[in-house]
């Protein structure tokens, strides 16, 4: 058996897109759900379906919703297109569900898979791998027969009426997104030393082109909210430059941390903002740590990406920021 992680980092490289997982307890479904929002990337197609023909399975604007119902031995992934319809389902026969050390939901795959389309295609895949595992002694007679039986159950439950299956998946996607939207991904953003190379003798601090591209990539790819923590948020020409930069790059969900005599450090301002917005659980701090090194607050430090003030925001900083934003995945 092989382990599959629902953040899809091992094969598909989805770990730099927004990822969410949660328990669902409602009338229509009891079990685990995971959502991969594909905010970038070239389209990938499967073209081996007899009825549906060529269908998109990944690409910018699509999403994957994975449902693992309680008491069942399968994991169903619905691949949603931009228009909100399902292009295909990939359903794994599984042995067990687990939470990895980093908190990501995973399952042990029993090789056998069923693929469905809304056009009525039903394909059973990788039975040869299941047979090989059985012959090698990896599976007992009971496990082998159980996997085959689960494959047939999948076809009976989900493949007989794909319109009903699609409707159920759409309802679950709406439910998951409603819960996700209540807890926005958030980037606490410093300016000097992050979007520019700070030069105190200059009145106007210019945003570095590559740093600007990097922050835009992070914000758009992760669908994140921006909270500015720089002293420039108090106003002035550099604040005007930043607001114009956000506007020109279609970044509109922008806020600032509180300020006043009652706050003695940047960490206090960030903590105050988090207390005012208790729905924010997944966040990252981009800071050159010139004003505050966060050493007094271990929790905030775990969310910190330390940016080299002599270089500004780099690609590796964005990669680390994505990893932090996807690390706190409980909704």
Specify the CATH number for the domain of residue 290.
3.40.50.1000
Residue 212 sits in the same domain as residue 304: yes
Last residue of a domain, one of 160, 181, 202: 181
**CATH number for the domain including 22?**
2.40.380
Contact, 76 vs 91, CB < 8 A? yes
Angle between helices 209-222 and 315-325 (to 10 degrees): 20
Tell whether the torsion through CA atoms of 80, 85, 90 and 96 is positive or negative.
positive
Give the per-residue pLDDT at 295.
85
Other beta carbons within 10 Å of 24: 18
Helix/strand/coil for 47: strand
- In 3D space, the residue among 140, 213, 168 whose CA is nearest the CA of residue 67 turns out to be 168
Give the distance between the most distant pair of CA atoms in the chain. 76
Both 10 and 139 in a single domain?
yes
Strand partners, 116: 89, 122
Residues 20 and 103 reside in one and the same domain: yes
Q: How many helices (H) and strands (E) does the chain have?
A: 8, 15
Residues 75 and 207 in one domain: no
Indicate whether 211 belongs to any domain. Answer: yes
Identify whether residues 155 and 202 lie together within a single domain. no
Inside any domain, residue 33: yes
Q: Which of 140, 161, 181 is the last residue of a domain?
A: 181
Q: Residue 107 corresponds to which tokens in the numbers above? A: 């399952």
> Which of 133, 157, 181 is the last residue before a domain boundary?
181
The answer to whether the Cα torsion of 116, 121, 127, 129 is positive or negative is negative
Are 157 and 240 in the same domain? no
The answer to the question of residue 209 being in a domain is: yes
242 and 273 within one domain? yes
Residues 209 and 253 in one domain: yes
The answer as to whether 330 is a domain residue is: no
In this structure, are 38 and 160 located in the same domain? yes
Residue 7 domain-assigned (yes or no): yes
Grouping H, G, I as helix, E, B as strand and the rest as coil, residue 233 is helix
* Together in a domain, 223 and 158: no
Which structural domain range is residue 291 located in? 186-325
In a domain, 331, yes or no: no
Question: How many domains does the structure of the chain reveal?
Answer: 2
Which pLDDT value is given to residue 331? Answer: 45
**pLDDT (0 to 100) of residue 115:** 97
Rg (CA), the chain: 23
Local confidence pLDDT in tens for the 331 residues of the chain: 889 999 999 889 999 999 999 999 988 899 999 999 999 999 999 999 999 999 999 999 999 999 999 999 999 999 999 999 999 999 999 999 999 888 899 999 999 999 999 999 999 999 999 999 889 998 999 999 999 999 999 999 999 999 999 999 999 999 999 988 888 899 999 999 999 987 777 777 789 999 999 999 999 999 999 999 998 898 888 899 999 999 999 999 999 999 988 888 899 999 999 999 999 989 999 999 876 778 888 899 999 999 999 999 999 999 999 999 998 554 4
Amino acid 330: pLDDT: 47
Report the predicted TM-score, pTM, of the whole model to 2 decimal places: 0.86
Both 143 and 264 in a single domain? no
Adjacency order of strands within the sheet including 283-287: 254-256, 225-228, 186-189, 283-287, 304-306
210 and 165, same structural domain? no
CA distance 186 to 188: 6
Residue 81 lies in a domain: yes
In which element (H, E) is residue 34 found? Answer: strand 30-37
Residue 107 maps to a domain: yes
């Amino acid at each position: 058996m092989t382990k599959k992680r629902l953040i899809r980092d091992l094969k598909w490289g989805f770990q730099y897109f927004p990822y969410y997982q949660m328990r669902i307890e409602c009338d229509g479904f009891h079990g685990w759900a995971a959502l991969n929002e594909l905010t970038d990337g070239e389209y990938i197609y499967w073209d081996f379906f007899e009825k549906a023909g060529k269908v998109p399975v990944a690409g910018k604007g699509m999403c994957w919703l994975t449902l693992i119902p309680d008491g069942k031995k399968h994991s169903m992934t619905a691949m949603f297109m931009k228009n909100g319809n399902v292009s295909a389902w990939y359903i794994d026969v599984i042995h067990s569900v687990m939470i990895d050390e980093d908190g990501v939901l995973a399952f042990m795959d029993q090789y056998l898979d069923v693929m469905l389309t809304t056009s009525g295609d039903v394909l059973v895949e990788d039975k040869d791998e299941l047979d090989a595992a059985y012959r090698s002694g990896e599976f007992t007679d009971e496990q082998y027969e159980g996997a085959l039986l689960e494959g047939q159950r999948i076809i009976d439950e989900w493949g007989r009426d794909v319109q009903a299956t699609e409707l159920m998946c759409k309802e679950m996607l709406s439910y998951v997104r409603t819960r996700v939207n209540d807890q926005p991904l958030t980037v606490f953003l410093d300016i000097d030393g992050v979007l520019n190379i700070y030069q105190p003798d200059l009145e106007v601090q210019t945003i570095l082109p590559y740093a600007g591209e990097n922050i835009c990539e992070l914000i758009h790819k992760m669908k994140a909210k921006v909270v500015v923590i720089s002293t420039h948020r108090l106003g002035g020409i550099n604040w005007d430059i930043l607001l114009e930069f956000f506007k020109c790059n279609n970044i509109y969900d922008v806020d600032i941390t509180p300020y006043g005599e009652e706050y003695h450090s940047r960490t206090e301002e960030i903590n105050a903002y988090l207390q005012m917005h208790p729905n924010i659980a997944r966040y990252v701090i981009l800071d050159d740590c010139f004003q505050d090194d966060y050493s007094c607050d271990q929790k905030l430090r775990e969310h910190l990406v330390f940016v080299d003030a002599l270089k500004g925001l780099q690609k590796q900083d964005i990669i680390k920021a994505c990893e932090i934003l996807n690390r706190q995945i409980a909704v």
